[in-house]
Amino acid sequence: MMPLALLLCAAACGSEKKDAATQPGVVTNIMDQALPEARPADAPANGIAPVEAQPAIDTPPPSAAPDGLIPAAFQGRWTGEADRCGDRAAPLELTIAPDQLIFHESVGTVGSARAEADGRIAVDAAFTGEGQSWTRTLHMRRVGDRLIITNDGTAVTRKRC
């Protein structure tokens, strides 16, 4: 009888419920401590949840760029009007840096950028992609949150991401 009583007593002592408030250094949810201000992302309007969170990209206010570089108003991430921002497989995805044009399957190194009429710029760049190299002059124009790029007489419109 005595061993049974000791066993019941030991079981009762081990079943005490302790919470994080009584145990210093214990965190009930590590994410609450790591990201105290985090909140769930809003559901997209189309009901499709993105696989990864959209990174915050600070777009600098429009300003004059040093000679030969792409002005800040044109810099940032762009994609096709029908494409979803953040879709790295979108064929019209484009990232514009002061000295680079990073397309889906090619990269252009800016040789020069110069202002044209109506706020447009002409960008001369040397491109590489898919084992080939070429040079091209692209004409860019901003219209609100849209970017129109004309290349060899063909215009393509992208939206800002």
Residue 1 has pLDDT above 90, yes or no: no
Q: Mean pLDDT score of the chain, rounded to an integer?
A: 77
Read off the pLDDT of residues 70-117 as tens digits, 9 standing for 90 and up.
999 999 999 999 999 988 889 999 999 999 999 988 999 999 999 998
What is 72-160's CATH number, 3.40.50, 2.40.128, 3.30.1300, 1.20.1740?
2.40.128
pLDDT > 60? residue 32? no
Domain ranges of the chain: 72-160
For position 86, what pLDDT does the model report? 85
Q: What average pLDDT score do residues 136-150 get? A: 95
Q: Which of 6-20, 44-58, 89-103 has the highest mean pLDDT?
A: 89-103
Q: Is the dihedral of CA 120, 74, 114, 139 positive or negative?
A: negative
